[in-house]
Amino acid sequence: MKYLLILLLFGSIQSFSQTYKPDLQNINLWTLSGRTIETINKKDTAGIKFNEDTVKGMYLLKNYFFSEGSIEFDVKGRDILQKSFVGLAFHYQNDSTYDAVYFRPFNFQNADTLRRLRAVQYISMPGFYWNVLRNKFPNQYEKKVSPVPDPNSWFHVYILIKGKNISVFVNNAKQPSLVVEKLSSTKTGQIALWVDFGSDGSFANLKIKKRK
């Protein structure tokens, strides 16, 4: 019933702009920080891959500001413990102030049932990193993913944002894997592909629809 009400709420978003599909390989559209990237051109996948490093990596879309609507993309991590943190930052203000949704693919099928509950995560920087949220609000801002993707393969992400409501769907599921209320007061900002410390990560097929 909870998810039905949430879906009805988000279903009220009926007026979207046309879909924007920024070219991930056109470096003139992006600002890269913390990493290097390489292009991916395999079959129907044209995207980019971050190298692995000990610092956070961001690939910021230039001159484009997003408030409400939907963001979707394909992403690929890996099933190596503490070596795969892949996602997207939004309402970006600077490298230390943004909201983000990210995944831990190494937890998707983890034998430890507690770790499986930590597969998808919302954070709001700088005040609400994962450790703060886990300690203060256990099991509220991180959840298991359903359906469960192959942790070494591409999976599809759909993020729906309306006001303070954020809902995250995986692999075209009808029910969200994660539903949270935004913790920051920012209402608009830029979008960036995001990988955390020690992680590489591949991204493709970014699509953005703004709510008019």
What pLDDT score was predicted for residue 5? 42
Assess contact for 204 and 73: CB atoms under 8 A. Answer: yes
Count of domains for the chain: 1
Task: Say what the alpha-carbon torsion angle 30, 34, 40, 46 is, to the nearest 10 degrees.
Answer: -30
Q: Token pair of 61, please?
A: 């879309």
What pLDDT score was predicted for residue 45? 86
pLDDT averaged over 10-residue windows placed end to end, the chain, 212 residues: 46 68 98 98 91 97 98 98 98 97 98 96 98 98 98 98 98 98 97 97 98 82
Which residue in this structure is represented by tokens 């409501």?
A: 165
Query: What one-character-per-residue DSSP string does 141-190 give?
Result: SEE--SSPPPTTS-EEEEEEEETTEEEEEETT-SS-SEEEE--S----BE
What pLDDT score was predicted for residue 128? 98
Provide the CATH number for the domain around residue 14: 2.60.120.560
Assess contact for 125 and 100: CB atoms under 8 A. Answer: yes
Residue 102 CA to residue 86 CA, distance in Å, equals: 5
What pLDDT score was predicted for residue 4? 44
Assess contact for 47 and 207: CB atoms under 8 A. Answer: no
Cβ-Cβ contacts under 8 Å for 83 (sequence gap 6 or more)? 52, 106, 198, 199, 200
Assess contact for 133 and 123: CB atoms under 8 A. Answer: yes
Q: What is the pTM of this model?
A: 0.91
Provide the residue range defining the domain that includes 148.
Answer: 2-210
